[in-house]
């Protein structure tokens, strides 16, 4: 902890007399792992006063304003002391494992046995007269996020109190800004997506946190294609497959979010099939893309992540359809290599979530890898747009792009093996 205590010493040199490490950084110290966030509480009167002495920017709105700054080379979130003393500040926190502080001399302030609960890996509400959820209702979601991310059990009294609070406050919980839910949701979801979703269901939080997912409940699907049940049941099964894949965390979050939203367009598109009569969902991919973009925008998810998830949702049916070398080329052009691989992972989880084997998806993925390998041999492209225009006497325009795509398809099929062969192929008019 010396390096983090050094942060407090540096703050004192900059004019902040009283400060403490709090919450996750101290909790992670007891867990023996590198802290992902560094939170500090200080005795300054205003956030602007902190910025004047330390630099950084004010983040959030009252009463949740903090200062985001870089101190001694580390990103730090600095909050103002509440209640007049560090002990009173800790009383206002949510769970005992977060109600621990450390001063600049390494002294521990632990009024509620938080260090013990960290060692025992249990989450327990801070035992003060005022229920912590009354101060900030988002804490009900934080409880589940911490349980999933840390692998902690939830104390039985805390579980009962939390479920009772949720049942008595459905409307206030539903009115919380989506951005605040999104921050907590993404942290828990990225660690164990299926378990986190299951906990939301168990605590009756789906309608408040994920109304788009709750809308899938009771939306029946043709048993021939989906013997597992309604769209929500299917989504839970897909999430279990996603969690089982154990992808690296960053990729898993993208895959898990796409899996979460992949069928959210079905409630909006459900109608009787014009020929066979059973329920069909024509256009649910495009509808789901809109749902995903709306939700991720409300959660303030970075645009790159949101656009990646939306693209996966829109295209998730492609690997299970008529899959050819041309399909591979189009996907690579639209998504790139890594996102296309994630698309196959999504399609495979989707197929297995429908109680299928996914053999068709595996065959399509095998073809994709073959095509990608062939294209890699000409990764710098034997012929570019200028070559095409020179060989065929064309002017710049869409036709050049179409011919380049045909060239990639021919390479992907294994028809061409050198720049010379590609040039002769163009001259023969095969790409016209």
Q: What is the pLDDT of residue 329?
A: 92
| Amino acid 250: pLDDT | 58
Look at residue 215 in the predicted model and tell me its pLDDT: 97
Is the model's pLDDT at 129 over the cut of 80?
Answer: no
Residue owning tokens 């020929």: 275
Residues paired with residue 88 on neighbouring β-strands, in sequence order: none
Checking if the pLDDT of 431 tops 80, the result is no
Closest by Cα among 9, 19, 157 to 86: 19
Looking at residue 314, its pLDDT comes to: 97
pLDDT at 272 over 80: yes
**What is residue 168's predicted lDDT score, i.e. its pLDDT?**
95
Give residue limits of the domains in the chain: 2-130, 210-357, 385-427
Beta bridge partners of 154: 123
Residue with the two structure tokens 């570019």: 384
CA of residue 404 relative to chain centroid, distance: 35
What average pLDDT is seen over the chain? 91
**Which pLDDT does position 150 carry in this prediction?**
92
- pLDDT of 121 over the 90 cut: yes
Are 238 and 262 within 8 A, CB to CB? yes
Confidence bin at 23 (pLDDT 50/70/90): confident
What CATH number has the domain spanning 2-130? 3.30.460.10
Beta carbons of 205 and 141 less than 8 angstroms apart: yes
Query: Is residue 95 over pLDDT 90?
Result: yes
pLDDT in tens, 197-235: 999 999 999 999 999 999 999 999 999 889 999 999 999
At residue 365, the pLDDT reads 95
- CATH class, 210-357 region: mainly alpha
**In the predicted model, is pLDDT for residue 382 greater than 80?**
yes
**Each residue of 6-17: pLDDT tens digit?**
889 999 999 998
pLDDT grade for 137, boundaries at 50, 70 and 90: very high
Beta bridge pairs of residue 79: 41
pLDDT band at 135 (very low <50, low <70, confident <90, very high): confident
Report residue 302 CA to chain centroid gap: 10
Give me the percent of the chain exceeding a pLDDT of 70: 97
3-state secondary structure the chain: CHHHHHHHHHHHHCCCCCEEEECHHHHHHHHCCCCCCCEEEECCCCHHHHHHHHCCEEECCCCCCEEEEEECCEEEEEEECCCCCHHHHHHCCCEHHHCCEECCCCCEECCCCHHHHHHHCEECECCCCCCHHHHCCCHHHHHHHHHHHHCCEECHHHHHHHHHHHHHCHHHHHCCCHHHHHHHHHHHHHHCHHHHHHHHHHCCCHHHHCHHHHCCCCCCCCCCCCCCCCHHHHHHHHHHHHHHHCCCHHHHHHHHHHHHHCCCCHHHHCEECCCCCCEECCCHHHHHHHHHHHHHHHCCCCHHHHHHHHHHHHHCCHHHCCCCHHHHHHHHHHHHHHHHHHHHHHHHHHHHHCCCCCHHHHHHHHHHHHHHHHHHCCCCCCCCHHHHHHHHCCCCCHHHHHHHHHHHHHHHCCCCCCHHHHHHHHHCCCCC
Please report the pLDDT score of residue 252 as a whole number. Answer: 63
pLDDT of 292:
97
* Paired sense of beta strands 66-71 and 74-80, if any: antiparallel
pLDDT for 248 equals 53
Q: Indicate the pLDDT class of residue 96, thresholds 50, 70 and 90.
A: very high
- Tens digits of residue pLDDT in 252-261: 689 999 999 9
**What confidence tens digit (pLDDT) does each residue in 275-326 have?**
888 899 999 999 999 999 999 999 999 999 999 999 999 999 999 988 999 9
Half-sphere exposure of 209 (CA within 13 A, CB side): 30
Using the predicted structure, report yes or no on whether residue 266 has a pLDDT greater than 80: yes
pLDDT at residue number 339 = 93
- Quick one: pLDDT band at residue 432, thresholds 50, 70, 90? low
Q: Are strands 122-123 and 153-154 parallel, antiparallel or unpaired?
A: parallel
Residue 351 has pLDDT above 90, yes or no: yes
Report long-range pairs for 59-64 (Cβ below 8 Å, ≥24 apart): 64/136
Is 164 within 8 Å of 134 (Cβ atoms)?
no
Q: How confident is the model at residue 419 (pLDDT cuts 50, 70, 90)?
A: confident
Q: Report how far residue 70's alpha carbon sits from residue 136's, in angstroms, rounded to the nearest whole number.
A: 27
């Amino acid at each position: 902890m010396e390096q983090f205590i050094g942060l407090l010493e540096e703050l004192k040199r900059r004019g902040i007399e009283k400060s403490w490490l709090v919450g996750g950084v101290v909790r992670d110290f007891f867990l023996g792992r590198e802290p992902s966030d560094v939170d500090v509480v200080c005795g300054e009167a205003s956030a602007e006063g902190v910025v004047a002495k330390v630099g950084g920017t004010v983040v959030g709105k009252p009463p949740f304003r903090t200062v985001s700054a870089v101190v001694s080379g580390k990103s730090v979130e600095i909050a103002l002391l509440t209640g007049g003393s560090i002990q009173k500040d800790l009383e206002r926190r949510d769970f005992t494992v977060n109600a621990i502080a450390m001063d600049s001399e390494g002294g521990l302030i632990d009024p509620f046995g938080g260090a013990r609960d960290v060692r025992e890996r249990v989450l327990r509400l801070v035992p003060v007269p005022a229920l912590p959820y009354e101060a900030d209702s988002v804490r009900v979601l934080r409880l589940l996020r911490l349980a999933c991310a840390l692998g902690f059990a939830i104390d039985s009294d805390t579980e009962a109190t939390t479920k009772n609070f949720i049942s008595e406050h459905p409307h206030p919980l539903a009115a919380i800004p989506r951005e605040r839910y999104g921050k907590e949701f993404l942290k828990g979801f990225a660690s164990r997506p299926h378990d986190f979703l299951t906990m939301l269901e168990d605590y009756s939080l789906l309608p408040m946190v994920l109304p788009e997912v709750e809308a899938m409940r009771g939306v029946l699907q043709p048993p021939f294609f989906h013997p597992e049940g309604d769209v929500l049941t299917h989504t839970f099964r897909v999430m279990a497959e996603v969690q089982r894949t154990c992808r690296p965390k960053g990729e898993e979050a993208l895959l898990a979010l796409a899996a979460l939203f992949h069928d959210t367009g079905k409630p909006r598109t459900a109608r009787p099939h014009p020929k066979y009569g059973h329920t069909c969902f024509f256009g649910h991919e495009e509808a789901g893309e809109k749902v995903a973009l709306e939700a991720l925008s409300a959660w303030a998810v970075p645009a790159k992540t949101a656009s990646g998830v939306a693209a996966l949702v829109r295209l998730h049916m492609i690997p299970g359809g008529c899959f050819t070398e041309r399909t591979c080329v189009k996907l690579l052009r639209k998504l790139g290599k890594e996102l296309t691989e994630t698309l196959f992972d999504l399609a495979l989880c989707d197929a297995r979530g429908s109680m299928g084997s996914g053999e068709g998806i595996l065959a399509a993925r095998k073809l994709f890898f073959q095509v990608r390998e062939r294209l890699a041999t000409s990764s710098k492209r034997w012929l570019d747009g200028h070559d095409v225009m020179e060989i065929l006497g064309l002017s710049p325009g869409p036709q050049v792009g179409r011919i380049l795509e045909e060239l990639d398809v021919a390479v992907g099929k294994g028809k061409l093996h050198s720049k010379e062969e590609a040039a002769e192929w163009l001259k023969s008019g095969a790409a016209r």
